[in-house]
A and B are shown apart, each in its own frame.
Chain A
Amino acid sequence: MMNIRNYVRVQSLEEAYELNQGRKNRIIGGMLWLKMGKGSIQTAIDLCDLGLDTIEETEDQFSIGAMVNLRQLELHPGLNVYTQGAMAAAVRDIVGVQFRNLATVGGSIWGRFGFSDVLTQLLAMDSYVELYKGGLVPLEDFAACKHDNDILVRLVVKKTPGQFVYQAMRNQRTDFPVLTCAVSRMEGKYRAVIGARPSRAIVVRDEKHLLDSGITPESAAAFAKFVAGSVPTGSNLRGSAAYRTHLAGVLTQRGILELGGRG
């Protein structure tokens, strides 16, 4: 467990930003991953007083504050209607209800953790992060960036018409995933997102137009093969690279066929 010397509930984003420039200061988010670390934090910066714990839904987007917890994502009616339940499916096996009541969207996305179910699903959507200094950045670009000292304020998910399917392979429910897979079709364009490779999630688009003529068992299999061949995988104690590559194909094929069944 890390050692925390000071704790500050900031009253503005500017205060948070200034404190966050200190090399030994850290924004604590839900603190679930942070508490697993060792070492010393000079000042723990808590954003919990900034009103960033709500999901605001308008006609064309969702605005999800950085301090929204994963349980809120799971239960939000609008998000789950829009994603046909994929949002809830993406988080429901993350440990337990108590954990999801603490873990924050901001912490999950800022961390860009390889194992993140949340990052995988959000990358399948038309998602952006709003940074205090950096402004609105496509999530796909943000996910590929290195960490800096900006502040993640909220996520913005545009309601681009689409269908979504989320799946993950776990050795045991509530464990870290062996592989995560979200597929989507937005305005006729398909993408597959593969996470827990075990590196952070990446997006694969149907750049070979394998699904342009519609979803059939053959076209789904061809796209799945393309995805499996495109995604670098690695080995760790949960699974080998070869197993993950195999899973990437299987889960993509299942996901695409499920999208096809929805018409």
Chain B
Amino acid sequence: MEIKLTLNGRTVTDHIDPGLLLIDFLRDHGCLSVKRGCETSNCGLCTVLMDGKPILSCSMLAARADGHSIQTLEGLQEEAADFVGFIADQGADQCGFCNPGFVMNTIALLREIPNPTDDEIRAYLAGNLCRCSGYDGQLRGIRSYLNSRKG
């Protein structure tokens, strides 16, 4: 079947297998930041934005993305650059495997709640699992970024 969607701002048309998952479609189109992790819709590694909302690309058919806008980290480098340095400064990403999912969901968080409390950050990022860090580093990094914005 044929689908047509907007991927990181450009129109993409492709013939796909009806059972193809969005994650595999995206990786086939060069978006290698989108990673497969748990296979149980729990870890958040595969987070992308569909029409601006964070979703799990491992759990949605590519066919359902037909007609929609998909953004991956490859298309949001500038927006991510604002805060990822703060997270790195806290030593939050050790192996780094969870990082693209965390960054994508943090982008969604900051768009939806521009000045979140610590509890709002924890709640919003609860669907992103990290096996290295214990999450405090990510929280400190985001808090540090938010504090820097206040000048």
Q: Give A residues with C-beta under 8 Å from B.
A: 1-7, 9, 28, 30-32, 35-36, 41, 44, 46, 48, 71, 92-93, 95-99, 101-102, 173-174
**A35-B41, A98-B44 as given contacts; A7 in contact with B61, CB under 8 Å:** yes
By the criterion CB–CB under 8 Å, are B127 and A99 in contact?
yes
User: Shortest distance in angstroms between A94's beta carbon and chain B's nearest beta carbon?
Assistant: 9
Judge whether B61 and A96 touch: CB under 8 Å: no
- From A3, A71, A96, contact of B126 by CB (8 A): A96
Q: How many residues of B contact A (CB 8 A)?
A: 29
A48:B64 contact, CB within 8 angstroms: yes
CA distance A41 to B21 in the complex (A): 15
* B108 CB-CB contact with A under 8 Å: yes
CB distance from B119 to the nearest CB of A (A): 11
Contact yes or no, B42 A95, CB < 8 A: yes
- Give B18's nearest chain A residue, CB to CB: A7
Cβ-defined contact, A4 with B61, below 8 A: yes
Q: How far is the CA of A32 from the CA of B38 in the complex (A)?
A: 13
Is B80 interfacial (CB 8 A cutoff)?
Answer: no
**Distance of B124 from chain A, by nearest CB (Å):** 6
Bound CA–CA A174/B122 (angstroms): 12
Q: A5-B18, A92-B123, A102-B55 are in contact. Are A97 and B108 (CB under 8 A)?
A: yes
22 CB contacts below 8 A, A to B, read A4-B19, A5-B18, A7-B61, A7-B63, A9-B66, A30-B59, A31-B61, A32-B56, A32-B59, A36-B41, A44-B61, A48-B64, A96-B105, A96-B127, A98-B56, A98-B105, A101-B50, A101-B53, A102-B41, A102-B56, A173-B126, A174-B127
The 6 closest A-B pairs by CB, nearest first: A96-B127, A4-B19, A7-B18, A98-B54, A7-B63, A98-B56
Q: Could you list which residues of chain B lie within 8 angstroms of chain A, going by C-beta atoms?
A: 1, 18-19, 21, 39-42, 44, 47, 50, 53-56, 59-61, 63-64, 66, 105, 108, 123-128
A1 proximity list for chain B (CB < 8 A): 21, 39
A3 touches B19 (CB 8 A): yes
Q: Which of B18, B21, B64, B127 contacts A98 (CB 8 A)?
A: B127
Of B41, B44, B55, B105, most A-chain CB atoms within 10 Å: B41
Within 8 Å by CB of A36, from B40, B47, B56, B125, lies B40
Contact A97 B54, beta carbon cutoff 8 Å: yes
Also in contact, A99 and B61, with CB within 8 A (given A3-B19, A6-B18, A92-B123): no
Give the CA-CA distance A97 to B111 in the complex, in Å: 14
Contact B19 A5 (CB under 8 A): yes
Please measure, in the bound complex, the distance between the C-alpha atom of A48 and the C-alpha atom of B64, giving whole angstroms. 8
Contacts of A4 in B (CB 8 A): 18-19, 61
Expressed in whole angstroms, the minimum distance between the Cβ of B129 and any Cβ of chain A is 8
* Cα–Cα distance between A174 and B47 once the two chains are bound (Å): 16
In the bound assembly, the distance between CA atoms of A79 and B72 in angstroms comes to: 32
Q: Which residues of A contact B50 (CB under 8 A)?
A: 101
- Are the CB atoms of B47 and A98 closer together than 8 Å? yes
Known: A31-B61, A32-B56, A102-B56. 8 other contacts (CB 8 A): A4-B19, A5-B18, A35-B59, A44-B19, A46-B61, A97-B124, A99-B59, A102-B60
